[in-house]
Amino acid sequence: MSAPTGGMQLELSVVSRAGARSVNEDAYGVWSAPSACFCVMSDGAGGHRGGQVASKLVVSRVLDWFRAAPACDPQSIGAALVAANDALLSEQQRDAELADMHATAVVLAIDRERDVATWAHLGDSRLYGFREGRVALRTRDHSLAQQMIDTGYVAEDAFRGHAQRATLYAALGLPEGCAVGLEPAQDGVRAGDVFLLCTDGWWDTISEEEMLRELQAASGPGDWLQRLDHRLVARQSEAQDNYSALAVWCTRE
């Protein structure tokens, strides 16, 4: 799919699968205006029905916010995620079965007239940015394992197998989770830049080296994600989590 005509041309593709689970608790969404494109991805958790409800509620609330006020500044990104957090907390109180639900979130907004990208995330769903054959951007997970890496207690190459990799200290729907972890960022966008929003089921199985290798060989975002999906399926275990990835390729007409 493509975003509407404007300054920066955007080509998008997405993969979202249940993996070895019976239910896919990942959710994603895209909304475009002539001047901007907004992408959001969420991974839900929280008992019976909780994960599915949480992730879908996050995506719908964030996109509703941008439909009402399509701005790409850090304040708008932060406000959209706070609105999603408030919606989760209200639903937790309304339905006892959903009291433990929470969700990660990663949001990317691209201003196609000013060539600026703004993003924010909570939890361990990630945003990657690729430029000129390298990883130019990778969000830092709000997890105990990431904190151990940052303080030198765990080596970076041992991250994926760490027992506390998925223990989060910030996420939507967690007490104080939104206030602790929300730090929107902004940077310029160039033709040739590639962004990837993905849940932990994706990046935990596909290395950054593999992402780069297949990116160099791919003809477009759909081809790129298909190549990576083939790798993931080939090594899928009985414990494979839900996995989702949304690719955004930036070009000029």
CATH code of the domain containing 102: 3.60.40.10
What are 194-237's pLDDT values in tens digits? 999 999 999 999 999 999 999 999 999 999 999 999 999 998 88
Integer Cα distance of 16 and 186 in angstroms: 26
Determine contact, residues 103/199, Cβ cutoff 8 Å.
no
Is residue 33 assigned to a domain?
Answer: yes
Number of domains in the chain: 1
Please give the residue range of the domain that contains residue 44. 23-204
Residue 57, in any domain of the structure: yes
Ranges of residues in the chain whose predicted pLDDT is under 50: 1-5
Q: Answer yes or no: is 10 within a domain.
A: no
Q: Considering the entire predicted model, what is its pTM?
A: 0.93
- CA dist 240 and 19 (Å) reads 5
Say if 99 falls within a structural domain.
yes
- Specify if 176 maps to a domain: yes
**Tokens coding 120:** 């924010």
Residue 211 domain flag: no
Within-domain flag for 230: no
